[in-house]
Every structure is written in structure tokens, then in C-alpha cells.
Amino acid sequence: MKVSKFLLPIIIVLGVTVFQSIFIVQEINQAIVLQFGDPKKIIKKSGLNFKLPFIQNVAYLDKRVLNLDNPPEEVIAADQKRLIVDAFARFKIIDPLKFYISVGNERVARQRLATIINSRIRGVLGRQDLATLLSKDRAKQMSIIQNDVNREAQNFGIEIVDVRIKRADLPQANSDAIYARMQTERQREAKEFRAQGAEIATKIRSTADKEVTVILANAKKKSEIMKGEGDGQRNKIFANAFGRDPSFFSFYRAMQSYEKSLIGGDTSLILSPDSDFFKFFGKSGLIKSKKN
């Protein structure tokens, strides 16, 4: 019984000692074994590892590619144009020992990298015009920034995988002014297009009116010619008829005269009984005829 009382504490101490002696490095991590804060061992491979219990401890560092999202910064281009640049970077820890000695942890590393990236962005983009920063040449400028940042990041055991600009916008005041200027320009163009359209419409209407006038004049001219030809043909027919039977032709014309003179109207006609107008009525004639 006494032996069991002594064994239990020993077993507990041994268990705690063994537990404190082993540690596991995950696939995504790399580890530094520290003894009283002094690095003793670097472990980059995953698996089960051992350390001195109670004396040594382990600091884990991420082995994956990490993202750094920089806050937007204002940059003044070479042509004194202001630009709000929103950039991000991707990096990884390639030298755990140098990283631990120089910055200690990811939080400090991110702060240092953000400062370096902002400084390089200001330095490189500040030597370029705004038009260059908004063109395809921006990729070349970002490559220069990445190389410059990478040279300094190596002092921290860090490799910069990529540096990119997510957005490059003008400040709000400048954007509003540019928008207002663009709106004014579009309105001016709209007025110009409407004026040109009105001018073209006037020309089209004028041309159409002219064509209508010409068509009507030609039609009237043609109708008058045709009417004249018809009258001529009619007169020719009458002349031929008169030549064949003059008495009948005189009778026909007299009947037309009676029809036009004696029908309708309120005009009174006083004619001599022996007038030629009544020669077809016989010797009795008419003294007076009224138009009814």
C-alpha cells in the first residue's frame, strides 16, 4: 500500500515530463526550439520532435504564403497629381531564425513590411506621371517596387512573393471635380449633337419641300400640256364635224348656248324676235327669256 502511494507521484511526474518533452510540428508550420529565449534548434519538417522539458519551449512560425493588406495611402505623382493607392503584398518566412531574431513575430513583421511597402510605393510611383500609373506600364512599376521591398525583407528572413495595387483612385474632391467636368463635357457634346441633328433635319425638310414644289410644278405643267392637247384634239374633232355637216354643228352649238343661258340664275335677257339666237325656234321666236 505504501509502495503504491510512492509510485503514483512518480508516475505523474514522469508523465508530465514526457508530455513536456515532445511536441508536433504541423505541415503548415516550422518551429524554433528556445532555451530561456535563446534559439537552439530550427525544425522545418513536420512530425514528432523532442525538447528538454521545463527548460526549452517552442515558437511556431507559419510556413505558408501570407497576405499583407496595406491601408490606402495618398501618393503624389511626378505631375503633382494626388492618388489614393490601395496595395497588398504576399510573403513567406524562408529563414525562421533570422525572422525570430529580427522581428520576433508576424504582427511586428507585418508592421515593418507595411512601412517598407508604403515607402517604396511613394518613392517609385512619385517619379511617374498619373497617366503612366493608369496605363499598362503600372505592372513594370510594381515589379520595381517588389524587387526593392524584397531586398529589405530579406533582412527579416522574409521573401516577398508579390506586390500589387488593388485600386488607384483620385481623392474624393478631385473625383467630384473630374466628374463635374466630364458631365459638363457630355452635356456640351449632347447640345452639339442636337444642334447638328436640327440642322440636318432642316436641310432634309428644305430639300423635301423643294422636291415637292418641283414635282407639283412638273405635274401641273404636264396636266396643262395634256389639257391643251385634249382641247386641241376636241377642237379638231369639232372642226371635222363642222366640215362634214355645218347645219348640224350649228344646231348642236345653239343647243349648248340655250342650256347655258336659259337654265338657272336671275338674269333677264331682252332680244329681238328676229335674232339669230332664236332661229331654231321658228318665226314666232321669243320676245323675252328669263334665266331660271
Mean pLDDT taken over the chain: 80
- Greater confidence (251 vs 174) lies with 251
Question: d(Cα 145, Cα 160) in Å, to the nearest integer?
Answer: 10
pLDDT at 93 over 70: yes
CATH architecture of 66-175: 2-Layer Sandwich (3.30)
Per-residue pLDDT at 267: 61
97-116 pLDDT per residue, tens:
999 999 989 999 999 999 99
Instruction: Print burial letters for 267-290: b (CB count within 10 Å at least 16), e (below 16).
Output: eeeeeeeeeebbeeeeeeeeeebe
Q: Which residue has the cell 369639232?
A: 238
Question: d(Cα 89, Cα 69) in Å, to the nearest integer?
Answer: 7
Per-residue pLDDT at 176: 62
Whole-structure pTM value: 0.54
For residue 280, give the C-alpha cell.
Answer: 331654231
pLDDT category at 177 given cuts 50, 70, 90 is low
Per-residue pLDDT at 29: 93
Per-residue pLDDT at 258: 67
| 46 DSSP 8-state letter | -
What does the domain layout of the chain look like in residue ranges?
2-62, 66-175, 257-292
Question: d(Cα 17, Cα 11) in Å, to the nearest integer?
Answer: 10
- Greater confidence (48 vs 76) lies with 48
- Greater confidence (81 vs 259) lies with 81
Per-residue pLDDT at 262: 62
Instruction: Print burial letters for 218-254: b (CB count within 10 Å at least 16), e (below 16).
Output: eeeeeeeeeeeeeeeeeeeeeeeeeeeeeeebeeeeb
- Greater confidence (270 vs 20) lies with 20
- Mean predicted confidence (pLDDT) in 114-143: 81
- Mean predicted confidence (pLDDT) in 66-83: 82
Per-residue pLDDT at 5: 66
248-284 pLDDT per residue, tens:
777 777 777 766 666 655 666 666 666 666 666 654 4
pLDDT category at 239 given cuts 50, 70, 90 is confident
pLDDT at 172 over 70: no
216-225 pLDDT per residue, tens:
888 888 888 8
Question: d(Cα 199, Cα 205) in Å, to the nearest integer?
Answer: 10
pLDDT at 32 over 50: yes
pLDDT category at 291 given cuts 50, 70, 90 is very low
Strand pairing category for 38-43 and 66-69: unpaired
Report the candidate in 126, 262, 145 with the shortest Cα–Cα distance to residue 153.
Answer: 145
Least confident of 132-141, 211-220, 272-281: 272-281
| 71 DSSP 8-state letter | P
- Mean predicted confidence (pLDDT) in 45-74: 88
What are the two backbone dihedrals, phi and then psi, of residue 134, each rounded to the nearest 5 degrees? Answer: -100, 5
Q: State the Cα torsion 155-156-157-161 to the nearest 10°.
A: -90
Helix axes 172-244 and 246-262, enclosed angle (nearest 10): 130
Question: d(Cα 110, Cα 91) in Å, to the nearest integer?
Answer: 10
36-52 pLDDT per residue, tens:
888 889 998 988 898 88
